[in-house]
Chains A and B, each alone.
Chain A
């Protein structure tokens, strides 16, 4: 009798250890919209994935350059069929395909970046990059002498527009006369076109170049002309040592690790996450020595304020036509920010 109890205890004990080990072992998949190994969007996510890889019991894998639409649906289906536990899809256009797949695999957890749809097993997340953009705009506004800043941007989607607006507000905070001119390249990664776009902005008098592009093409243009530049996604100073002032950068590692920890502990819930400076998901890269100390101090002070809870899109804010979009004293809701399709006053360019 005692022997049976012993055996039962042993089996229970082994079973517990086994299930513990089983609970820890996780397969995480990532879907990227562009090739990694650039200094850009997918590269930043991949840095996060690599941080995740270091966790115990977590293996990660990825598929890159996946076109939005049916291709992405198939990739996610494949991952789900292979028994991946968590799947991260890092581009807006993956939203509907992910929703479809999520319905078919209720046991798998799906996380969509930069979208707005959710399900019981699907959440979405993004980073408040606009906070870092505001800070970088402050630097640009302080450093420009011609009061014209050039912004090379990829596609007129809300996150890009939001970034431009935040950047402009930051620049205007330091220098109310500043204008920001926008050129759309309609590509995420084409250094030749991006560089040419930067040059076209330089030709109309811009003396600081900022970008919402993945390649350092615009940085090269700024360096060659001898003006200043703001990078993106990661510190781009190696490409433009005499021009690069700072860059708003991503830091996805902590977010991914936190998410997986929640899944492992069973506390993960579907929802919308939008962490920012305060959580360390976005940041401003170290400012170059070319930026005067008093400017750096102001920027760091503002950064601390935002981390403490201060909002960026606080009224009064007018749009390009002069209409008031945000009343004095109020701030924009998350929903309004996510769907931003208009430019603030001071931006010169179309939103199409």
Chain B
């Protein structure tokens, strides 16, 4: 493959990986607090529909983007209520949320299929876009992609360098000890769930506001599940998530470009690449990890003590 194809491929990898990156960051935030939220797919698609509708009604994509985040928070709160208040099983609750979310978004969005909305267009950064190789790949994207260049860093700052971040991680790592030390573990878990949901909603909105300006049934097409996998690949670190998301986006873009270049490999096999890669990556990540970064109390509910 020549360099001519490589640069657009990498640019496509960045763009394709961005919605997954938002969702992965959200899930990292949630899982760090100890809650496993498998409802990412459902939350993403609700964010996508919300962003689409708000942009269509108000004509303001920025407002739409933020609104999608809040829609994601609301959707995630269902998971929070079922698990944190009603002590429901986290795995099943997340699955149920995905089923509900996808159904709800498809149902409410029926009349908007095939309609377009004002959204975000590519916004090359004046000087930086001229840099050979890096310019077209990183600095000729749209605004929402540029956000993802700083959000992981901000999340890292929050989690590792603030008291709140430390407390959040404590809630996920050793909730019993943290409670004994006077920490409001349930409160921090709520922060994790709601905050994570916000980013998942943003990820969904990226699909309907920037990646395309359309809405359709199942717009997210399983990207939410990829995000859950990437959290593990990223060792629950926000900065690692960037690499994983771009890698995955790259594979998705690659298989299409292989076809366009005239390969004779059957497309069904090419389409397997992203999923097979995810499994391979997971196996590699599990194999290598000695000291695990997995939050110690991930997935277990705690009975709130007094």
Direct contact of A and B (CB under 8 A): yes
**Are A204 and B12 closer than 8 Å at their CB atoms?**
no
When the two chains form the complex, which single residue of A35, A224, A349 contacts B259, counting CB atoms closer than 8 Å?
A: A349
**Are A217 and B113 closer than 8 Å at their CB atoms?**
no
The minimal Cβ–Cβ distance linking B257 to chain A, given in whole angstroms, is: 4
When the two chains form the complex, which single residue of B12, B113, B121, B207 contacts A200, counting CB atoms closer than 8 Å?
A: B12
When the two chains form the complex, which single residue of B8, B218, B259 contacts A190, counting CB atoms closer than 8 Å?
A: B218
**Are B114 and A192 closer than 8 Å at their CB atoms?**
no
Please judge, given known A-B contacts A37-B113, A43-B114, whether A200 and B259 are in contact too, CB under 8 Å. yes
Please judge, given known A-B contacts A184-B259, A186-B271, whether A203 and B9 are in contact too, CB under 8 Å. yes
Please judge, given known A-B contacts A197-B256, A204-B257, whether A192 and B212 are in contact too, CB under 8 Å. yes
Task: Judge if A283 is at the interface, Cβ distance under 8 Å.
Answer: no
CA A349 – CA B256 in complex, angstroms? 12
Chain A residues whose C-beta falls within 8 Å of the C-beta of B266 in the assembled complex:
350, 352
- Encode B102-132 as 1/0 by CB contact (under 8 A) with A: 0000100011111010000110000000000
- Encode B258-283 as 1/0 by CB contact (under 8 A) with A: 01111111111001000000000000
Task: Judge if A163 is at the interface, Cβ distance under 8 Å.
Answer: no
Chain B residues whose C-beta falls within 8 Å of the C-beta of A189 in the assembled complex:
216-217
**Are B267 and A184 closer than 8 Å at their CB atoms?**
yes
CA A197 – CA B268 in complex, angstroms? 15
Task: Judge if A207 is at the interface, Cβ distance under 8 Å.
Answer: no
CA A349 – CA B111 in complex, angstroms? 35
Chain A residues whose C-beta falls within 8 Å of the C-beta of B116 in the assembled complex:
216, 220, 238-239
**Are B268 and A191 closer than 8 Å at their CB atoms?**
no
**Are B262 and A39 closer than 8 Å at their CB atoms?**
no
**Are B216 and A215 closer than 8 Å at their CB atoms?**
yes
**Are B256 and A183 closer than 8 Å at their CB atoms?**
yes
When the two chains form the complex, which single residue of B106, B214, B253 contacts A196, counting CB atoms closer than 8 Å?
A: B253
The minimal Cβ–Cβ distance linking B235 to chain A, given in whole angstroms, is: 28
When the two chains form the complex, which single residue of A187, A195, A200 contacts B260, counting CB atoms closer than 8 Å?
A: A200
**Are A181 and B214 closer than 8 Å at their CB atoms?**
no
When the two chains form the complex, which single residue of B221, B260, B263, B264 contacts A193, counting CB atoms closer than 8 Å?
A: B221
**Are A203 and B257 closer than 8 Å at their CB atoms?**
yes
Task: Judge if A53 is at the interface, Cβ distance under 8 Å.
Answer: no
Task: Judge if A348 is at the interface, Cβ distance under 8 Å.
Answer: yes
CA A183 – CA B262 in complex, angstroms? 9
Please judge, given known A-B contacts A38-B114, A192-B212, A216-B214, whether A203 and B268 are in contact too, CB under 8 Å. no
Chain A residues whose C-beta falls within 8 Å of the C-beta of B252 in the assembled complex:
196
**Are B267 and A191 closer than 8 Å at their CB atoms?**
no
Please judge, given known A-B contacts A37-B110, A38-B113, A350-B264, whether A191 and B219 are in contact too, CB under 8 Å. yes
Task: Judge if A201 is at the interface, Cβ distance under 8 Å.
Answer: yes
Please judge, given known A-B contacts A38-B216, A191-B214, A192-B212, whether A349 and B262 are in contact too, CB under 8 Å. yes
The minimal Cβ–Cβ distance linking A348 to chain B, given in whole angstroms, is: 4
When the two chains form the complex, which single residue of A39, A182, A183, A348 contacts B114, counting CB atoms closer than 8 Å?
A: A39
Chain B residues whose C-beta falls within 8 Å of the C-beta of A185 in the assembled complex:
256
Please judge, given known A-B contacts A38-B114, A217-B214, whether A190 and B221 are in contact too, CB under 8 Å. yes
- A residues contacting B by CB (< 8 A) are 35, 37-40, 43, 65, 150, 156, 181-187, 189-193, 195-197, 199-201, 203-204, 214-217, 220, 224, 238-239, 348-350, 352
- B residues contacting A by CB (< 8 A) are 5, 8-9, 12, 16, 106, 110-114, 116, 121-122, 207, 211-214, 216-219, 221, 252-253, 256-257, 259-268, 271
Those 8 A-B pairs whose CB atoms lie nearest each other, nearest first: A38-B114, A352-B266, A184-B267, A200-B256, A203-B8, A200-B257, A39-B114, A200-B260
Can you spell out 5 A-B residue pairs with CB atoms less than 8 angstroms apart? A35-B106, A35-B113, A35-B217, A349-B262, A350-B263
Q: Beyond A187-B221, A189-B217, A191-B216, list 13 extra A-B contacts (CB 8 Å).
A: A35-B113, A37-B114, A38-B113, A156-B267, A184-B259, A186-B271, A192-B207, A192-B219, A195-B211, A196-B12, A199-B12, A200-B256, A224-B121
